[in-house]
C-alpha cells in the first residue's frame, strides 16, 4: 500500500497538482476511465472550494486496500470561515461565490462516499471516496 500523500492547496497551481496526483493514483489502483474522471473532477472542485472560500487548505490522498476492491479516499481540510448551513451548501445551484453552485453537490454525486463536517469559525473537512468497480 502506498503512503498517504498530503498536498497543500494555496495556489491555482496546487489545484492542478491535486488533480494530477488524484488521476495518477486512480489509474494506478485500476479505476475505470469514467471513474478516474469522476474522482478527478470532484478533487478539482473541492480543492478550488478550499482555495476560493477558505484561502487554501490541504488534501490527504489515500489508497484504500485490503478489502474486496481498492479505493481512493481524499480528505480536504481548511481553517476557513466554515459553512453556516451545510444542507443549503449541498443544494444544487446554491452558491456564495456567484458560480453555478455545483461544487459540493456535484462532488457528492460523483463519488461513492461523501462526508462534510463544517461549522462557522471552525473550518471545513470534506471526505470523498471512490471504489474500483
The span from the CA of 121 to the CA of 6, in Å, is 23
Q: How many helices (H) and strands (E) does the chain have?
A: 4, 5
Residue whose cell numbers read 474500483: 132
Return mean pLDDT, the chain: 90
Question: Band of the pLDDT at 93, cuts 50, 70, 90?
Answer: low
Q: Measured at the alpha carbon of residue 110, what is the angle toward residues 133 and 121, in degrees to the nearest 5?
A: 130
* Main-chain phi, psi angles of 99, to 5 degrees: -90, -165
Per DSSP bridges, beta strands 71-78 and 57-64 are: antiparallel
Q: For 11-37, what is each residue's pLDDT tens digit?
A: 999 999 999 999 999 999 999 999 999
Question: What 3-state class would DSSP assign to 40?
Answer: helix
Residue whose cell numbers read 461523501: 114
Mean per-residue pLDDT, 90-102: 58
CB neighbours (10 Å) of residue 65? 11
Question: Band of the pLDDT at 1, cuts 50, 70, 90?
Answer: low
pLDDT of residue 88: 81
Residue whose cell numbers read 470561515: 81
For residue 63, is pLDDT > 60?
Answer: yes
Question: Band of the pLDDT at 101, cuts 50, 70, 90?
Answer: very low
Amino acid at each position: 500500500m502506498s503512503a498517504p500523500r498530503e498536498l497543500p492547496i494555496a495556489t491555482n497551481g496546487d489545484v492542478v497538482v491535486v488533480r494530477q496526483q488524484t488521476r495518477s493514483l486512480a489509474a494506478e489502483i485500476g479505476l475505470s476511465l469514467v471513474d478516474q474522471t469522476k474522482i478527478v473532477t470532484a478533487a478539482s472542485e473541492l480543492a478550488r472550494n478550499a482555495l476560493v472560500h477558505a484561502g487554501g487548505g490541504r488534501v490527504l490522498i489515500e489508497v484504500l486496500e485490503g478489502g474486496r476492491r481498492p479505493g481512493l479516499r481524499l480528505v480536504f481540510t481548511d481553517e476557513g470561515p466554515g459553512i453556516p448551513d451545510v444542507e443549503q451548501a449541498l443544494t444544487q445551484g446554491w452558491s456564495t461565490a456567484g458560480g453555478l453552485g455545483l461544487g459540493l453537490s456535484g462532488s457528492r454525486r460523483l463519488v461513492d462516499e461523501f462526508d462534510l463536517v463544517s461549522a462557522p469559525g471552525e473550518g471545513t473537512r470534506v471526505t470523498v471516496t471512490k471504489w474500483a468497480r
